[in-house]
Structure 1
Amino acid sequence: MTEVVTTTNEPAVRADNVWKVYGSGAAEVTALRDVSVELARGRFTAVMGPSGSGKSTLMHCLAGLDTVTRGETRIGATRVTGLRDAELTRLRREQIGFIFQQFNLLPTLTARENILLPLAIAGRRPEPDWFDTVVGTVDLRDRLGHRPDQLSGGQQQRVACARALITRPQVVFADEPTGNLDSRSGADVLGFLSRSVREFGRTIVMVTHDPTAAAYADRVIFLADGTVVEDLAAPTTDAVLETMKRLDTQGAAR
């Protein structure tokens, strides 16, 4: 089953002149400096950069998990900046999926119940065909009755991926989704994210430090010191590594 998603020229995610400043006075830290990016619909974008570069902060601001100090962010036509808490909750529930490094599964729930949790919270019934498609895509049909402690790390992350897709979100934000996985399990998760773009028309935004993971994306945005310093299309692992080395050299020279 391949879902057809209506496409428009409007970006799926957008940041306009975004600044994020923490603290004040001597303790002030500028995490993002006048960042402007547009992320196309139905594409897989990776965000990379050294520790402290602002990559996770950017993702959190784009997803409405953190506020911006100046500038604005949008999900589709919705201006995220300035939304009230109830409006943000509705936006995240209806249009955004999340995948985190730590899986964030509820230990007392089965895999099936964890996958369906966002729908249960929203008071929505699952669509049987879509549930079957998502579960089949992540290859979990024989593990649905198992709790997280009965699953491997890779299986737990696939449950988290299925949970992120079950509401048919327009955008899925993934924060180091392979960080706690071995290479084979990580490849399974990255393959699922790629397939969700190609077959289901989702938009994926992934923060990663791994060049191999970034090579699954259609585009890699590199941050350093809170600013976008490079934008790489059709990345390969070698191209990502070369870009990282060059940026490290430039950073050391500054």
Structure 2
Amino acid sequence: MTTVSTAVEAPHGPGGPHAAASARQVTKAYGAGETRVIALDAVDVDIALGRFTAIMGPSGSGKSTLMHCLAGLDTVSDGRIWIGATEITGLKDRELTRLRRDKIGFVFQAFNLLPTLNALENITLPMDIAGRKPDRSWLDQVVETVGLADRLSHRPAQLSGGQQQRVAVARALASRPEIIFGDEPTGNLDSRSGAELLTFLRRSVDELQQTIVMVTHDPVAASYADRVLFLADGRIVDEMAAPTADSVLDRMGRFDGKRTS
């Protein structure tokens, strides 16, 4: 008996071959009736392949919700989402789990490292669970890019916070996902460790052709991206190419002024 997958494959998603992820008319609502809250309001967006995209906005603007929906961590109320050529909207739980495992990497504020495993074992853990052997040359390249070559035998307790987050980044990169999502990945780091992590993310885009989407509230963090998307009230209201910390801060200040006026 042949099992037919409900994943919809096409030559490419609606954003074309240069889009790593796409959303069309995506709406996310919570509650019903008078308590209904619109977190995302008919959002259209394409995430460029091999580029670093930052998502910013005031608290409650929908930025984390957008990232969670794009990554298949949350369902949408309406609209459609693609990862590459695969439409993920409406996938069964098992198919969605497989897609996230095979095509998506995640880096969050919490490092989520297992204390009994050393750095290398933590990096390869998702592949070990999936029963797949890592590509050794790629793994070596990732380890070198994030500067962990001399720390692979150390357990998390023997690493600084910045080094632990680098292990988490390497883990996300090691399986060669199509796209990596980061939700405030520098949120628990001091400024020096945060700058190191952002430099590694930037290098992974420039040297490893990785695609990264990062939610952040920090203009300095956003300045490492190629493009910044600004959300307000569940909608993408602006975007900026080649951002600097000052230009992002200025743009955010204008949004805050409009919201308070």
Report the TM-score when normalising by structure 2.
0.92
Q: Write the distance in 2 (CA, Å) between the matches of 1:102 and 1:9.
A: 33
* Deviation of 1:110 (Å): 1.2
1:5 corresponds to: none
- Per the TM alignment, residue 129 of structure 1 is displaced from its structure 2 partner at its CA by 1.3
Distance between the aligned counterparts of 1:242 and 1:230, measured in 2? 13
Give percent identity, aligned residues only: 65
Could you tell me which residue of structure 2 aligns to residue 85 of structure 1?
Answer: 93
Matches within 5 A, 1:87-126: 87-126=95-134
Q: Does 1:164 align with 2:172?
A: yes
Q: Distance in 2 between matches of 1:114 and 1:156?
A: 10
Q: Where does residue 36 of structure 1 map in the other structure? A: 44
Q: CA deviation at 1:93?
A: 1.1
Question: Structure 1: how far apart are the matches of 2:110 and 2:96?
Answer: 23
Q: List aligned pairs for 1:1-254, cutoff 5 A.
A: 9-253=17-261
Deviation at 1:9, TM superposition (A): 3.1
Gaps of 5+ in 1: 1-7
Specify every segment of 5 or more residues in structure 2 that has no aligned partner in the other structure, as ranges. 1-15
- Equivalent AA in structure 1 for residue 147 of structure 2: D
Distance 1:166 1:63 in 2: 18
Amino acid at match of 2:198: L
Deviation, structure 1 residue 189: 0.8
Residue type of the alignment partner of 1:108: T
- Residue 134 of structure 2 aligns to a residue whose secondary structure is coil
Q: How many residues align?
A: 246
What code does the residue aligned with 1:45 have? T
Counterpart secondary structure, 1:244: helix
Determine the C-alpha separation between the residues in 1 that align with 2:117 and 2:38: 40
142-151 or 89-98, larger mean C-alpha shift: 142-151
Q: Deviations over 1:210-232 (max 9, x none)?
A: 00000000000010111111111
Aligned equivalents of 2:194 and 2:240: distance in 1? 22
Question: How far apart are residue 187 of structure 1 and its match?
Answer: 1.0
Letter in 2 for 1:19: T
CA distance in 2, matches of 1:172, 1:163: 11
SS in 2 for 1:205: strand
